[in-house]
Amino acid sequence: TLSAVIDNIEVQIEDERNLLELIKKAHIELPTFCYHSDISIYGACRMCMVEVSGRGIVPACSTPVSDGMVISTNTKQIRDMRKMIVELMLANHDQNCTTCPKSGDCRLQKIAHQMGISTVRFKQTEAFPQMDLSSDAILRDPAKCVLCGDCVRVCREIQSVGVLDFAGRGANSVVTPSFKKGIGEVECVNCGQCIKACPVGALTPKYQINDVWNAIHDKLKTVVVQIAPAVRVALGEYFGFEPGTVTTGQIVSALRMMGFNKVYDTCFAADLTVIEEGNEFLKRLEKGDNLPQFTSCCPGWVKFAEQYYPDMLPNISSCRSPQQMFGSLCKDKLTKEANIKREDLVVVSIMPCTAKKYEANREEFRVNGNKDVDFVLTTQELALMIKERGIEFSSLEPGSFDMPFGFKSGASVIFGTSGGVSEAVLRYAVDKVTNNSFTDYKQLRVDSNLKITEVNVGGKVLRLAIVSGLGNTRKLIDKIRRGEEYFDLVEVMACCGGCVNGGGQPVTDSSNGVKARAKGLYDNDVMLQVHSSQENPYLQKVYDADLDEHKAHELLHTVYKN
């Protein structure tokens, strides 16, 4: 067997890709800024330097493992170097830590603290660059950037969007969108995957916390809130729960204590989406038109398609996303019922997603300039608001949603994970065609960013693809375009794994956290009273009372104009 000696301890070599992974096996976590196991190795931050006998000092992340290596991870020389690197980073950093959204969750803060750095010896003389406020979804603060390039590589390699890059040299290096434009002025699709990679506060969701408090405190406004599927299995992570713990009831109670007038569930609208999108799919199958049908609920994907695959737009479902269906339905129904003006009803959503902020701002989703969804808070922002309000989240008694928009089927809950939308639509469509009793489609639950499967629907074999991550999506669509692949239905989520891994979720270093969130949603489905959208009794009531075909079309569908 092959082995190496790390700080005098012998460690077996298996399939470690680099020294950093081997060192981890010796129970030593080296500090890094630029290493992520799922993107390419950049080796820029130099924090993971170690000494290898006979070779000198090397970066562990980009050094392959070989038999017989003798490695020291903490000599005086290495420690001094590391400390110097952090001090130089701090000198180039605006150090407004108290007001930084990332405070408490920042790797620079943590490493500086761990290394006992209590003063910063160097001072930057030039003015720090300004914040980039150009995007609806993402706040870019280049004064906090440590030039690790993680966001550059995620955007390019995982999402194949590539709007961020290095510019300038040496001390003038910056990470910036092309031509030094604002991030809201380039082809960024707002997925927020760069936010999750950023170790510091240089990229964060654009917070709307103050707008929401102001609406709540405004006595003239009725403020209602919806929560997305993926939020309920992640928010708890901020309050000591394991990833995947379902805290729906506590979230409802917290939102009531914060002062929202009604607390509703985006899942109700996801059930609506299943019916609308399912019917649309069955119609297209019958006519053979615009197949494959692509799902439309991910605004990161929709913008990606508008930019790079405009020829595919007719294939995207005309259904609005659940967030937007919810908004338009609320503004229509609740204003009539309470006899209030549209402007006085404020709809807030809690989403795992930064792109939902952008979606809510789109022109398509306004009536006379008034938005269907007024404010979108990410899971991160909700956690901060709960903390600000002093609510002891972990000991809250679970509350229940307001009706009718608080009732949901299990099919709608699994929307939050890649494969969930397809499974939910199949539970409806197959039942409609064949009068089959409920089936779950476990083959759609495999842990993979591309799942291809065939399902027999009333004697007809349908081919489905479920893809997540925009780089994977690009590869798949290119194959469809070249005629190498044929599908009837394609589900696309911009974030790998789906919304459970959205750009507004708690940052977790391990992919196990994301898997646990997905499992939490599937387990939640089992716990609920009904499992197919067509069995949601409130849904039928809303259709009967408020949605004839014309109204359903007006409120629940759209055409993307780009």
Active site residue 388: no
CA distance 517 to 234: 6
Active site residue 45: no
State the nearest-atom distance from the C-beta of 474 to ligand SF4, in Å.
12
Using rule CB under 6 A, residue 499 touches ligand HC0: yes
Tokens at 123, concatenated: 């001072």
Using rule CB under 6 A, residue 190 touches ligand SF4: yes
Active site residue 14: no
β-sheet bridge partners, residue 347: 224
State the nearest-atom distance from the C-beta of 212 to ligand HC0, in Å.
17
β-sheet bridge partners, residue 12: 3
State the nearest-atom distance from the C-beta of 189 to ligand SF4, in Å.
5
Tell me which stretch binds ligand SF4 (CB under 6 A): 15-23, 102-110, 154-162, 207-215. 154-162
Residue from 6, 34, 85, 163 binding ligand SF4 (CB under 6 A): 163
Contact by Cβ (8 Å): 176, 165 = yes
DSSP per-residue letters across 522-557: HHHHHHSS--SGGG-HHHHHHHHHH--HHHHHHHHB
Contact by Cβ (8 Å): 418, 464 = no
User: Which backbone phi and psi does 167 adopt, to 5 degrees?
Assistant: -135, 155
Site map (CB under 6 A) of ligand SF4, residues 31-70, x = contact = ----------------------------------------
How many residues in the shown chain lie near ligand SF4 by CB under 6 A?
Answer: 27
Tell me which stretch binds ligand SF4 (CB under 6 A): 42-50, 56-64, 368-376, 487-495. 487-495
Tell me which stretch binds ligand HC0 (CB under 6 A): 5-13, 185-193, 226-234, 242-250. 226-234
CA distance 142 to 127: 12
Active site residue 356: yes
Using rule CB under 6 A, residue 377 touches ligand SF4: no
Cβ closest to ligand HC0, residue 11 vs residue 421: 421
Q: Which residues in the 127-146 window bind ligand SF4 by CB under 6 A?
A: 138
Active site residue 157: no
Helix (H) or strand (E) holding 26: none
Tokens at 229, concatenated: 């599927």
User: Which backbone phi and psi does 259 adopt, to 5 degrees?
Assistant: 110, 10
Tell me which stretch binds ligand SF4 (CB under 6 A): 86-94, 214-222, 434-442, 496-504. 496-504
Residue from 71, 197, 298, 429 binding ligand HC0 (CB under 6 A): 298
> Choosing among ligand SF4, ligand HC0, none, which partner's interface includes residue 71 (Cβ < 5 to 8 Å by kind)?
none
Q: Which residues in the 395-424 window bind ligand HC0 by CB under 6 A?
A: 415-416, 421
- C-beta neighbour count of 192 within 10 angstroms: 30
Site map (CB under 6 A) of ligand SF4, residues 294-333, x = contact = ----xxx---------------------------------
CA distance 313 to 495: 20
Give alpha helix (H) positions in 99-247: 107-114, 150-153, 193-197, 209-217
CA distance 380 to 352: 8
- At 539 the three-state DSSP class reads helix
Contact by Cβ (8 Å): 301, 493 = yes
Catalytic residue among 364, 388, 392, 454: 364
Contact by Cβ (8 Å): 453, 489 = no
Using rule CB under 6 A, residue 235 touches ligand SF4: no
CA 396 to chain centre: 26
Say if residue 53 is exposed, middle or buried (CB neighbours under 10 Å; 0-12, 13-18, 19+).
exposed
Catalytic residue among 206, 276, 328, 359: 359
Residues tagged active-site:
277, 280, 297, 317, 356, 359, 364, 499
Interface residue list for ligand SF4 (CB under 6 A): 138, 154-155, 159, 161, 163-164, 188-194, 298-300, 352-353, 355-356, 493-495, 498-499, 502
